[in-house]
């Protein structure tokens, strides 16, 4: 087991002029010095990955799965120290669905990926033709991750890529490199040398990854704008892509829902990771009949949730991870206040407080075209919009270019499923929002990206289909 100090030390580099200081977004205190890699470091990582990949692929699914299980054991051995590093660098609290939860999900996804069967599929066998569909390794996969769930999303990319016989080069967010470096170090206790490498560079490294001729696929989670840039840069090499891009998820509360019964799940659907989740509930449509009751019950729940420094065991909400995101949330909430919307809770950050804390904010009586509704806030501020008919709510839910997730809330699941079928989103949850499962495919539609992750479909997306006919 690696200690916290050992993980932190191993995630830094002593090279002068090639480091960047990482600060705790809750306190402003220094966490550590992150390496700043360049394109030449990427080239070395790709060369090592290319050399290591054939022998890894030759091991077969069973041996590769066994290695993933050993890697999961390694994560479990270092879980608490990984969680503490994650909490300090990203800002999320240790408890609740936060740092310890995220590290546990890393182990769980490794195990689930190892256990997922993927057998050759006989597509025709009629006595004259026998055709089988197989999936072969791509080669080297480039994984570009975000800062909101840096460890967990890295595993979502790494685990299926390795299972399918690929090597992986990871580029973590510049905001949260130490967490991913530490995780990769732990995983590499059980993996062949050169197979998995993290390169902590800026946009020039990401651009080179997207256009690199030796990288056969890019997996990217992040903004729609960056996803579009990756598509353009990758075109010359006809690179395979899985893009999980921005979301502005809608929730529709039907008039038969029980406001008190759903309030807790509504809260966590919107405010998990302090709202910094692509598939969080970001705009809530509530029928006139129960609008005030939902506002009242949701406010009562939200008011009980402690926010503060992540290493304090009592807290379940933390800061925004960076000032840029804090400024976005502040701007959008101010736009709602300027329009005359009713602030039920929050909306006034303390000016002299250290860290990027924005209070849990609920905004009612807001127009559907207000920027807080129309733009993805990615923070702890939820607009609650009235509607009169289900047709109106569905039209508003479908009115944006985003289509990652959505939810329908009702005491009648059958009726909720009928409404869900009308919503343009990759996943629609019933009476919950944002939950993911390693065997349930996940991906977006419209400008929230394309490609599927998780389960059998996720494994297939990390392979090259090959038909053997005859």
Active site residues: 244, 278
Q: Helices in 272-355 by DSSP H: which ranges?
A: 291-302, 323-338
Q: Across 126-238, where does the E strand assignment appear?
A: 130-137, 140-144, 167-171, 196-198, 217-221
Neighbouring residues of 368: CB distance < 8 A, sequence distance ≥ 6: 374, 385, 396, 399
Gyration radius of the chain over CA positions: 23
- Give the C-alpha separation, 407 to 410, whole Å: 10
What number of other Cβ atoms are within 10 A of residue 322's Cβ? 20
What are the C-alpha distances in Å from 207 to residues 129, 337, 449, 462? 45, 39, 18, 21
19 half-sphere exposure, CB direction, 13 A CA radius: 15
Angle at 421 between CA 420 and CA 426, to 5 degrees: 80
Which of 306, 260, 248, 325 has its CA nearest to residue 96?
306
Residue 160 CB neighbour total at 10 angstroms: 31
Cα 409 to its chain centre, rounded Å, is 23
Residue 7: which region, alpha, beta or left (left: phi > 0; alpha: psi -120 to 50)?
Answer: alpha
């Amino acid at each position: 087991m690696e200690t916290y100090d050992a993980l932190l030390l191993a995630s830094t580099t002593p090279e002068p002029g090639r480091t960047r200081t990482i600060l705790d977004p809750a306190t402003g205190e220094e966490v550590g010095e992150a390496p700043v890699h360049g394109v030449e470091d990427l080239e070395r990582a790709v060369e090592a990955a290319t050399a290591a990949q054939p022998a890894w692929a030759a091991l077969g699914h069973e041996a590769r799965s066994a290695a993933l299980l050993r890697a999961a054991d390694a994560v479990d051995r270092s879980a608490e120290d990984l969680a503490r590093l994650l909490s300090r660098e990203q800002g999320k609290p240790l408890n609740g669905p936060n740092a310890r939860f995220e590290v546990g999900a890393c182990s769980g996804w490794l195990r689930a990926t190892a256990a997922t069967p993927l057998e050759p599929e006989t597509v025709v066998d009629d006595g004259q033709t026998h055709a089988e569909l197989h999936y072969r390794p791509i080669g080297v996969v480039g994984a570009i991750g975000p800062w909101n769930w840096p460890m967990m999303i890295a595993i979502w990319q790494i685990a299926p890529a390795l299972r399918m016989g690929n090597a992986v080069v990871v580029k973590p967010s510049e905001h949260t490199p130490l967490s991913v470096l530490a995780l990769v170090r732990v995983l590499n206790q059980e993996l062949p040398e050169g197979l998995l490498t993290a390169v902590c560079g800026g946009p020039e490294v990401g651009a080179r990854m997207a256009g690199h001729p030796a990288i056969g696929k890019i997996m990217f989670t992040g903004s729609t704008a960056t996803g579009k840039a990756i598509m353009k840069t990758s075109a010359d090499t006809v690179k395979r892509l899985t893009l999980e891009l921005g979301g502005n998820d809608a929730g529709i509360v039907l008039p038969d829902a029980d406001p008190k019964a759903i309030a807790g799940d509504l809260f966590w659907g919107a405010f998990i990771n302090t709202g910094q989740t692509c598939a969080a509930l970001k705009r809530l449509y509530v029928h006139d009949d129960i609008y005030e009751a939902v506002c009242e019950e949701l406010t009562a729940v939200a008011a009980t949730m402690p926010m503060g420094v992540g290493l304090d065991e009592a807290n379940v909400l933390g800061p925004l991870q960076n000032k840029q995101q804090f400024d976005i949330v502040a701007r959008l909430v101010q736009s709602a206040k300027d329009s005359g919307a009713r602030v039920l809770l929050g909306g006034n950050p303390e000016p002299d407080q250290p860290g990027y804390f924005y209070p849990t904010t609920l905004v009612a009586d807001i127009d559907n075209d207000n920027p807080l509704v129309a733009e993805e806030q990615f923070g702890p501020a939820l607009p609650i919009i009235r509607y009169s008919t289900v047709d109106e709510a569905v039209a508003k839910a479908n009115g944006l270019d985003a289509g990652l997730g959505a939810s329908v809330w009702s005491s009648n699941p059958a009726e909720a499923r009928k409404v869900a079928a009308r919503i343009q989103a990759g996943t629609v949850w019933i009476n919950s929002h944002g939950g993911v499962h390693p065997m349930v495919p996940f991906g977006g539609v419209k400008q929230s990206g394309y490609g599927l992750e998780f389960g059998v479909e996720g494994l297939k997306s990390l392979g090259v289909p090959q038909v053997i006919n005859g």
